Amino acid sequence: MVERDGPEKRGRLSRPLVLDAAVALVDREGLAALTMRRLAAELGVESMALYRYTPGKEGLLDGLIEAYFAEVNARLRTSAHTDLQEPEWRLELRRIARAFAAAAHAHPEILPLVATRPLTVPMARRPAPVLELTEHILSVLGRAGFDDATTLTAYRTFVAWNLGCTLVDKRQVVDNPDEPDPLLRLGLHRLPAAEYPRLRALVPRFADFDDEREMLAGLDSLLNGIPEPPLDAFYGDGTS
Which DSSP helix (H) or strand (E) runs through 101?
helix 88-106
CA 187 to chain centre: 26
pLDDT of residue 81: 63
Q: Is the pLDDT score of 136 beyond 60?
A: yes
Q: Is residue 176 part of a domain?
A: yes
pTM of the model: 0.80
In a domain, 205, yes or no: yes
DSSP code for 97: H
Quick one: average pLDDT of 107-115?
92
Expressed as residue numbers, the domain containing 219 is 83-223
Residue 143 inside a domain? The answer is yes
CATH number at residue 163: 1.10.357.10
Instruction: Answer yes or no: is 238 within a domain.
Output: no
Rounded Cα–Cα distance for residues 170 and 165 (Å): 9
62 pLDDT tier (thresholds 50, 70, 90): very high
CA 193 to chain CA mean position, Å: 35
Residue 195 lies in a domain: yes
pLDDT tens for each residue of 179-230:
677 666 777 778 788 888 887 787 777 666 667 778 888 898 888 888 888 7
**What total number of domains does the chain contain?**
1
If you average pLDDT over every residue of the chain, what do you get?
A: 83
Q: Please report the sign of the dihedral spanned by the C-alpha atoms of residue 101, residue 167, residue 31, residue 129.
A: positive
